[in-house]
Amino acid sequence: MNALLQAIAIGVPQGALYGLMGFGIALIFRSAGTLNFSHGYSAMVSVLITLSTIQWFLGMGWLEGHAALFAAIPVGLISGAVFGVLIDILLMRRVKHVSPASMLMITLGLLLVFEGAANLIWSPDYESFPRILPGAPFVFQGAGVLGEVRVIFRRNDLAVMLIALVISLSMAGLMKYTKIGLAIRARGQDPIGAQAVGINTNRVDSIVWAIAITLAVVVGILVAPITRVHPTMLMNTQLLGITAAVLGGFSSLFGAIWGGLIIGVLERVVDIFPALDGYETAIIFFLIILVLVFKPEGIFAPRQGRKA
Amino acid sequence: MLEVANVGVRFGGLVAVDDFSMTVEQGSIHALIGPNGAGKTTLFNSITRIGPRTSGKVYFKGEDITRLPDHRMIHAGIARTFQNLQLFARMTVYENLYAGYAFHFKRPLLSIFAGSHRAFEEEVRKRIANVAARTGIRSALFSTPQNLPYGMQKRVEIARAIISEPEMLLLDEPAAGLTYHETEELDRVIYDLSRKNGITILLVEHDMNMVMKISDRISVMSFGRKISEGSPREVAGDPEVIRVYLGGEESA
């Protein structure tokens, strides 16, 4: 029982990050029309930019300790938004009308470009990255109806969960109550109809790319203290983010977040059983196969209406 | 109001539309008809920029709109509907209509948070109620389009097109796929838009009944060319029109 609680305490924050990653991937998939295989890699470059900015601030002696981190984060986030807009304007806009497959190929190419650039400009070495909330972990200890309980909760995970929650809620608000959210939904559901009501679909696509990559940078910054910073630091997170999006059903954006939470917890629960050690990923992908076979629209997809 | 000047559309060696010109008068209902394959839809799409155009120009109120981007058309005052419906399938009818007005409203796209724009919300609500009453879709406002009968969906699309009070409305085969009764309802809606709201209408249509009943002026196309133009009575009596529609001596 204690092991299960511990698995949840570590799995939920981890899963929230998969969920945010999946949310951005599903957003691009639904509105801009491609599966972005370079999602985590562009964010990785932004994390490297963030790290270099921190080191620069520290090196110049302008800022110390945590102030440098918080000053560098906006730089990283903006670089993510810029990557998103550039990918859309320079590459996607030109092939959008050709075929979805060519967009997919470009994202695969970008994955290699970003990874190569990271190796060339920075280095393949693992570098450490500061936590948002440093300090000793919380220990919850006591005896209750469940028996003797001792759960450890990493302090930084508190920041992870709060940030993930705030972002999820503000994204939900953005999509539901703002004009840009309406434009994003309209463009995803019917691009021709969207243009007919006066929506500049090219601009919507750029905004979608900017939002999605910026979210991935947030994930990268939060996950960096654990994975450390290196060119493939977000490979696993991206893979499980795509998985979260599939699990949640690409047609429901917030399904991706629930999907991420499920994967995060499952990963840790599997860890409890020594016999299953090393099979975490296999079990998760087996789950995906089951979902694709029995409920291909995703476990959180809204019920389909009657066809007219 | 709308002037099509020498528009031509070619696909390789095939001439789909050949040097076509016509003028749609302000306040009129103008129909573009012709047998299957005459190039009506090709011409229509090249006017609305959904399709290609090889030569010629299109003027709206004397201004050249030939190079206007697609999404600027509604801002210029030209709304349209589509043959196969382009509604937002996972939004309610209310949201569809909201979208029809929201982006016509001139304010920066990014900064609109609904809560801080009560007056705007109130205005949109009134407009939606008004336009829903005019097109007879009041009962459907909170359904999603896919759960509505086809005739109702067509009227939802017209409602979305006119909510921003365009000066001109382009209708692509509005009666296609409708029952006799649904077509009659649609006739009335379109006629009222022209007579009560003063919207200039250009429609491409197959349904001769509808065209003869509501049009002020008709252009007839065959093999990419204009073969006749005039009032419904004049066009119906034109031997050339009768020939292409019913088959003349050569083809009989």
* Interface predicted TM-score (ipTM) of this complex, two decimals: 0.85
Domain boundary, last residue among B141, B165, B189: B165
A182:B144 CB<8 A: no
Q: Is the pLDDT of residue A265 over 50?
A: yes
Is there a single domain that holds both residue B223 and residue B250? yes
Assign A303 a pLDDT band (cuts: 50, 70, 90): low
Question: Is the pLDDT score of B4 beyond 60?
Answer: yes
- The sign of the dihedral angle between the CA atoms of A68, A71, A75, A78 is positive
Residues of B in contact with A192 (CB under 8 A): 50, 82, 86
B245 and B171 within one domain: yes
Contact A132, A156 (CB under 8 A): yes
Q: Is residue A271 part of a domain?
A: no
Which residues on chain A are in Cβ contact (under 8 Å) with B145?
Answer: 308
Quote the pLDDT of residue B97.
Answer: 94
> Higher pLDDT residue, A141 or A161?
A161
Buried b (16+ CB within 10 A) or exposed e, A226-258: bbebbbebbbebbbbbbbbbbbbbbbbbbbbbb
CA distance B66 to chain A (A): 16
Dihedral of the alpha carbons of B160, B162, B165, B170, in degrees to the nearest 10: 120
Q: Are residues B186 and B235 in the same domain?
A: yes
Residue B92: predicted pLDDT: 93
Average pLDDT in the B110-121 region? 60
Residue finishing a domain among B107, B136, B165: B165
In this predicted structure, what is the pLDDT of residue A305?
Answer: 42
For chain A, positions 267-306, list CB contacts with chain B under 8 A. Answer: 302, 305-306
pLDDT for the residue A130: 92
How many CB atoms within 10 Å of residue A64? 9
- Number of C-alpha atoms within 13 angstroms, CB side, residue B191? 13
Does B160 lie in the same domain as B197? no
The pLDDT confidence band at residue B51, using thresholds 50, 70 and 90, is confident
Q: Does the pLDDT value for residue B106 go beyond 70?
A: no
Based on the domain organization, do B177 and B247 belong to the same domain? yes
Q: Tell me, what CATH number does B192's domain have?
A: 3.40.50.300
Are residues B243 and B195 part of one domain?
Answer: yes
Residue numbers of the domain that contains A94: 26-232
Whether residue B128 sits in one domain with residue B144: yes
Could you give the percent of chain B with pLDDT greater than 70? 92
Q: Which residues of A touch B70 (CB under 8 A)?
A: 195-196
Q: Which of A100-104, B62-66, B234-238, B243-247 has the lowest mean pLDDT?
A: B243-247
- Per-residue pLDDT tens over the stretch A34-72: 999 999 999 999 999 999 999 999 998 888 888 999 999
Query: Does A308 or B108 have the greater pLDDT score?
Result: B108
Residue A168 structure tokens: 């999820």
> Chain B residue closest to A197 (CA)?
B100
- pLDDT over 70 at B130, yes or no: yes
Asked if residue A17 has pLDDT above 90, the reply is yes
Judgement on whether residues B181 and B205 belong to the same structural domain of the protein: yes
Residues A113-136: what's their mean pLDDT?
92
Stretch A82-103: mean pLDDT, rounded?
92
Better-predicted residue by pLDDT, A303 or A24: A24
Q: Which domain holds residue B118?
A: 89-165
Q: What is the pLDDT of residue A184?
A: 93
- Classify residue A171: in a domain, yes or no: yes
Question: A178 to chain B: which residues are within 8 Å by CB?
Answer: 112-114
Total count of domains within chain A: 1
pLDDT more than 90, % of chain A: 62
| Residue A168 pLDDT level (bands cut at 50, 70, 90) | very high
Among A19-23, A274-278, B239-243, B244-248, the range with the most confident prediction by mean pLDDT is A19-23
Report the distance separating Cα A217 and Cα B232, nearest Å.
64
- Among B99-108, B117-126, B169-178, name the one with the lowest average pLDDT: B99-108
**What are the start-end ranges of the H helices in A190-299?**
191-196, 201-227, 235-248, 253-272, 280-294
Phi-psi region of A301 (alpha: psi -120 to 50; beta: other; left: phi over 0): beta
B157 and B231 assigned to the same domain: no
pLDDT at A81 (0 to 100): 97
User: How many domains are contained in chain B?
Assistant: 2
Residue A196 pLDDT exceeds 50: yes
Percentage helix, strand, coil for chain B under 3-state DSSP, each rounded to 5: 40, 25, 35
Output phi, psi for A225, to 5 deg: -60, -30
Per the prediction, chain A carries an average pLDDT of 89
Separation in Å, CA of B147 to nearest CA in chain A: 6
Q: Which of B165, B182, B209 is the last residue of a domain?
A: B165
Do B74 and A192 lie within an 8 Å CB cutoff?
no
Shared domain for B44 and B154, answered yes or no, is no
Looking at the structure, tell me whether residues B172 and B252 fall in a common domain.
yes
* Residue A182 near chain B (CB below 8 Å): yes
Q: pLDDT for A222-241, tens place per residue?
A: 999 999 999 999 999 999 99
Q: What is the pLDDT of residue B252?
A: 37
Of A180, A196, A203, the CB nearest to B74: A196
How far off is chain A from B29, nearest CA to CA, in Å? 21
Is A97 part of the contact surface with chain B (CB cutoff 8 Å)?
A: no
Contacting A residues, span 230-259, partner chain B, CB-CB under 8 Å: none
Q: In the predicted model, is pLDDT for residue A193 greater than 50?
A: yes
A115: tokens are: 């990874």
- In a domain, residue A222? The reply is yes
Instruction: Judge whether A214 lies within some domain.
Output: yes
Tell whether A191 is covered by a domain.
yes
Instruction: State whether B161 and A185 contact (CB < 8 Å).
Output: no
The two three-digit tokens of residue B133, written as one number: 């009453």
- From start to end of chain A, where are the E strands? 138-144, 147-153
pLDDT at B251: 44
> How is residue A245 written in tokens?
């999006």
| Residue where the block lists tokens 């007219």 | A308
Q: Please give the Cα distance from A68 to A156 (Å, whole number).
A: 17
User: Is the pLDDT reported for residue B109 higher than 50?
Assistant: no
Tell whether A268 is covered by a domain.
Answer: no
Cα torsion through A56, A58, A64, A68, rounded to 10 = 20
What confidence score (pLDDT) does residue B248 get? 53
Based on the domain organization, do B72 and B170 belong to the same domain?
yes
Does the pLDDT at position A242 exceed 50? yes
Residue A4 lies in a domain: no
pLDDT at B120: 77
What average pLDDT does the segment A239-266 reach?
88
